[in-house]
Amino acid sequence: MSNIKFINQEHIPIEMHKARIVQKINLISLEERIKANNKASNNSHLLKNEDVFLDMLTDSGVNAMSDKQLAAMMEADDSYAGSSSYFKLKEKINEMFDMPYFLPIHQGRACEHLLSRVYVKEGMIVPMNYHFTTTKAHIELAKGKVIELLTEEGLKEESDCKFKGNIDINKLNELILKTENNKIAFLRIEAATNLIGGQPVSLNNMKEVSKVCRENNVKIILDASLISDNLYLIKTREKGYENKSINEIIKEISKCFDIIYFSGRKLGSSRGGGICFREEQDFLLVRNLVPVYEGFSTYGGMSVREIECMRVGIEEILDEDVISQGPIFIEEMTRLLVQNGVPMVTPSGGLGVHIDCTKFLPNIPKEQYPAASVACALYIISGIRGTERGTLSEDRDDNGEEHFAPMELLRLALPRRVFTLSQIKYAVDRITWLYNNRELIGGLKFTEEPETLRFFFRKIRAYR
């Protein structure tokens, strides 16, 4: 990456791109924000984007696209079956991931749906480093159970561990030893583990886990939705990979897996998603379901324009200047917040910054959803919307009991190449103000609570 130094040694992340198309944003008044928040029943997913100043809800489908991606969209070859856009994408994916089979699928959770339908049967378990909301929902809908195998460091908000997304190999060996082999549907590793703060997995850990899986005949699957952040963090944090190219690192990662799936809304900054397979047998099993749920297997629910855009976006992740932009801005924002005393998940990872709301609001119990409370308060005082990643993002268990998340996080996503440093400084300023005035924030309780993925459509109000 370009190594730019300032005279006074100040460390400032530099944008390795320039803005050529921009979108006007509005900062509506405090009174209007209070009204908008009430109308959205204290749920940041239900706010209208026009009422939001800095949209840090997610990085999904809102990353900046490159000039080359937009140009490729113009060349898309529209056809129901056999589009040349599909073959160009397939060739690129085969080359990058070194896997011979590929299916385009309309988004990440649709990949999870098909994989769960094919491999998860009643009573099976799916070990993984940590779940993502939609992954767990699909596995449970297929009557399987998620087993999480993170190392102890993974669930500590503050830590020196550079790879908090790693799987604990001892826990994995123990689990395999006590489980009948045909009860493990597959093992899943999630790159830059979303719900624990975008924390990366080391390549050495992937290699070790893969070895155990292969020795025990367990299929191993990578959720590569956040692989671009994870690649950059391997290259800059893991010993032995500093001089390897991103392309070489991707190839080494791919070797560890039988199947790789991804959300193209995150990976490659486009839309859509896809699944890569090493074995023809797996490819055929999943392909059988594609025309039922997605569309024909050469478009998988995506428009051909999205397919072209994805091809270019995936190729662009080989460029370190491109993939560094997320992690270095996240690192800077985290550093500034820590400097101001705000409790944060450290070290920073991918996707966005993560505020530790257990420490932000120590007097609000988990039953009153402290991270969602901070999310509402931050929107009201700044126009910034983030998303709760804690107990509210979990669904109740079969007995209706709360399933308390180990961490109560407010995630402020930094979609790639979207925000400038001054906007980040505005966010830091407002978050710091809120932290210094945190006694103003109360807890929340449900008025309407959906059964599955309740955080999307929930309605909630002030506890008192």
Q: Among the candidate windows 106-114, 120-128, 243-251, 326-334, which touches ligand F0G by CB under 6 A?
A: 106-114
The least CB distance from residue 230 to ligand F0G, in Å, is 10
Please give, one letter per residue, the 3-state secondary structure of the chain.
Answer: CCCCCCCCCCCCCCCCCCCCCCCCCCCCCHHHHHHHHHHCCCCHHHCCHHHCCEECCCCCCCCCCCHHHHHHHHCCCCCCCCCHHHHHHHHHHHHHHCCCEEEEECCHHHHHHHHHHHHCCCCCEEEECCCCHHHHHHHHHCCCEEEECECHHHHCCECCCCCCCCECHHHHHHHHHHCCHHHECCEEEECCEHHHCCECCCHHHHHHHHHHHHHCCCCEEEECCCHHHHHHHHHHHCCCCCCCCHHHHHHHHHHCCCEEEEECCCCCCCCCEEEEECCHHHHHHHHCCHHHHCCCCCCCCCCHHHHHHHHHHHHHCCCHHHHCHHHHHHHHHHHHHHHCCCCECECCCCCEEEEEHHHHCCCCCHHHCHHHHHHHHHHHHHCEECEEECHHHCCCCCCCCCCCCCCCEEEEECCCCCCCHHHHHHHHHHHHHHHHCHHHCCCEEEEECCCCCCCCCCEEEECC
Residue 44 binds ligand F0G, judged by CB under 6 A: no
Determine if 108 is a binding residue for ligand F0G (CB under 6 A): yes
423 binds ligand F0G (CB under 6 A): no
Q: Measured from the CB atom, is 113 or 305 closer to ligand F0G?
A: 113
Q: Looking at 5-13, 71-79, 221-229, 398-406, which segment touches ligand F0G (CB under 6 A)?
A: 221-229
Token digits of residue 178: 């006590």
Provide, rounded to whole angstroms, the least separation between the CB of residue 62 and ligand F0G.
Answer: 10
Instruction: Report which residue's Cβ sits closest to ligand F0G.
Output: 108
User: Rule CB under 6 A: is residue 154 a binding residue for ligand F0G?
Assistant: no
Phi/psi region, residue 267 (left: phi>0; alpha: psi -120 to 50; beta: rest), is beta
Task: Mark whether 356 is an active-site residue.
Answer: no
Active site residue 87: no
Site for ligand F0G in 256-275 (CB under 6 A): 263, 265, 273
Q: From the CB of 58, what's the least distance to ligand F0G, in Å?
A: 3
Stretch that binds ligand F0G, among 142-150, 161-169, 220-228, 237-245 (CB under 6 A): 220-228
Using the rule CB under 6 A, is 134 a contact of ligand F0G?
Answer: yes
Among 107, 116, 270, 358, binds ligand F0G (CB under 6 A): 107
Q: Is 223 a catalytic residue?
A: yes
Closer residue to ligand F0G in complex, CB, 66/263: 263
- Asked if 109 touches ligand F0G (CB under 6 A), the answer is yes
Site string for ligand F0G, 3-22 (x = CB under 6 A): --------------------
The reply to whether 416 belongs to the active site is no
Q: Which member of 225, 230, 270, 324 binds ligand F0G (CB under 6 A)?
A: 225
We find the least distance from the C-beta atom of residue 197 to ligand F0G, in angstroms, to be 12
The binder of ligand F0G chosen from 60, 84, 159, 423 (CB under 6 A): 60
Residue among 42, 63, 151, 194 that touches ligand F0G (CB under 6 A): 194
**Per the residue annotation, which of 235, 311, 389, 417 is the catalytic one?**
389
Q: Which residues contact ligand F0G by CB under 6 A?
A: 58, 60, 107-109, 132, 134, 190, 194, 223, 225-226, 263, 265, 273
Q: Which residues are catalytic?
A: 80, 132-133, 223, 266, 389, 455
